[in-house]
Amino acid sequence: MTLPMDERLRATPMRPVHCAQCGARVLARKSSWAQTSIQWDAASAAACVERHTAEALSGKPLPHCSQLRESIWAAARSGELPVLDEAPPD
């Protein structure tokens, strides 16, 4: 069974967000304050210092970046990145 697409997602496409630390550019969307979708491309993955440092130390790529997470939160708080469910975080 296929679930219908949430029309809010269609109306609010992913938007570019730049990491304040390294400048990596990803596409992001916040469906709520608790849920974030992020699309990395090859260039953003290559630019991310935190991911490269973690991989060099552990031999495994890091699927996220705390600095990028902070940049996304800042974009959401400033209104640059819309939050679909605008109930404020606790």
3-state class (DSSP) for residue 29: strand
- In three-state secondary structure terms, 35 is coil
pLDDT, average across residues 9-21 = 87
pLDDT digits (tens, 9 = 90+) for 25-64: 999 999 999 999 999 999 999 999 888 787 777 877 777 7
* Res 85: pLDDT: 82
pTM of the model: 0.79
Q: What is the reported pLDDT for 88? A: 61
pLDDT higher than 70, residue 9:
no
Report the percentage of the chain scoring pLDDT > 70.
84
